[in-house]
């Protein structure tokens, strides 16, 4: 039951983008097309899960035993930056079109506060290894769900007659706000 609570909270109730407002940059920047959003979802999921695993190990076996937990944030940032570099190299070799489509937003995963936020929240919530990995995976799924829904809505809006003053960023922000309010309806689940 504990894991089900973590899953529901991570995906719906405490959605990293719509409820905690972490990861807004890729949420707004890569949500013009579903295909690009799917690539970003894959990259962010990979980085969040792997970063959580590595930072959990560093926290448990290095920072805590040596009583240098004050180094947590800078250590986590370095780990995330290295992982993003690895993802960038892999994507460049495996899928050049996706690499090109993600453009500047791929290196920005390094500064994506959702990635750092998840790794820090695992420590704050005092999760064990399995709970941490479940939380990381399903937080990524929640991020992906929000991004995919938003990308679908934005693709549909391209075919809509939107007043000139609201086109682009204004309507995207209004839509994101409405989507966030919709996700607030899940607040009573956990």
pLDDT at 106 exceeding the cut of 80: no
Residue 22 Ramachandran class (φ > 0 left, ψ -120 to 50 alpha, else beta): beta
Tell me the C-alpha distance between 141 and 134, whole Å: 10
Distance CA 121, CA 107 (A): 22
The pair of three-digit structure tokens given for residue 31, joined into one six-digit string: 């949500």
Say what the pLDDT of residue 32 is.
Answer: 87
| Distance between CA atoms of residues 89 and 135, nearest Å | 26
Query: Are the beta carbons of 115 and 44 closer than 8 angstroms?
Result: yes
Neighbours of 95 (CB within 10 A): 14
Q: Does residue 100 or residue 38 have the better pLDDT?
A: 38
Report pTM: 0.89
Task: Count up the domains in the chain and report the number.
Answer: 1
User: 33: domain range?
Assistant: 2-189
Task: Please give the DSSP secondary-structure letter assigned to residue 160.
Answer: S
């Amino acid at each position: 039951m504990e894991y089900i609570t973590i899953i529901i909270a991570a995906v719906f109730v405490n959605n990293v983008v719509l409820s905690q407002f972490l990861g807004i940059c890729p949420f707004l920047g890569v949500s013009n097309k579903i295909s690009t959003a799917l690539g970003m979802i894959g990259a962010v999921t990979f980085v969040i899960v792997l970063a959580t695993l590595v930072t959990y190990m560093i926290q448990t076996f290095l920072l805590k035993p040596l009583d240098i937990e004050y180094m947590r944030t800078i250590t986590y940032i370095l780990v995330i930056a290295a992982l993003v570099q690895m993802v960038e190299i892999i994507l460049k070799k495996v899928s050049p079109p996706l690499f090109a489509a993600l453009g500047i937003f791929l290196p920005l995963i390094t500064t994506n506060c959702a990635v750092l936020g998840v790794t820090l929240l695992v420590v704050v919530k005092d999760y064990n290894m399995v709970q941490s990995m479940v939380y990381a995976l399903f937080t990524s799924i929640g991020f992906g769900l929000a991004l995919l829904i938003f990308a679908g809505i934005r693709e549909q809006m391209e075919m809509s007659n939107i007043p000139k003053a609201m086109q682009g960023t204004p309507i995207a922000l209004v839509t994101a706000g409405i989507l966030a309010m919709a996700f607030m309806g899940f607040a009573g689940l956990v």
